[in-house]
Amino acid sequence: METTLIILKPDAVQRGLMGRIISRFEDKGLQIVGAKFMQISNELASTHYSDHQGKPFYDGLVGFMTSSPVLVLAIRGKGAIAVCRKMMGATFGSNAEAGTIRGDFGVSNSFNLIHGSDSPEAAEKELGLFFNDGEVLCFDRPGDAWVYDMSGGTAE
C-alpha cells in the first residue's frame, strides 16, 4: 500500500467542493488516513514549491496557496499516487478530461483545485512537511476485502 499527499487548494475550499472531491477518492476505494484543514504559511508554501522557485509563476503560486485555507489529506491505497493523479486529470482544467476532478470542476489554467504527489519520494517529503508524527494513521477497514482481491495474500 502507498500513501500520497493531496491538497485541496484554496479554489476547491472556496467553491465548496471539498466533500465532493473526498467522496471521489473514497468511492474509488482509497482510504483517508490523515486530514488537516489549515492556512498554509508563506514559509511552508515556499518550501513545498521550492522546485518552482525562479519560474515566472512561482510568486503567484505561493500567493494563491496562502490566500485561503486548504484541506491537506493523506490518502492510502494500492498504487495511490498514480491512481490519485489519474483521478485529478491534466494540470490545466481547460485540458482535463471529463470524469476527472479538474475536468469536471475546473476551466482555469491558474486555479487547478488540487495538488497530488507525483512520486513515492515526493509523497514522503510532502507528507513530512504537512503532517507530524502520529497524524497519518494506520488502521484496518473490513471493507477493504471488497476493494482489493486479497486471495493471493496481497492486495491485487
* Per-residue model confidence as pLDDT tens digits over 136-149: 999 999 888 889 98
Taken in order of first residue, the domains within the chain and their CATH numbers are 2-133 (3.30.70.141)
Residue 73 CB contacts under 8 Å (≥ 6 apart), including other chains: 5, 6, 7, 8, 22, 25, 32, 34, 35
Query: What residue type is assigned to position 81 of the chain?
Result: I
Average pLDDT over residues 109-118: 93
**pLDDT surpassing 90 at residue 150:** no
pLDDT for 3-54, tens place per residue? 999 999 999 999 999 999 999 999 999 999 999 999 999 999 999 999 999 9
The residues annotated as belonging to the active site are: 115
Mean pLDDT of the chain: 95
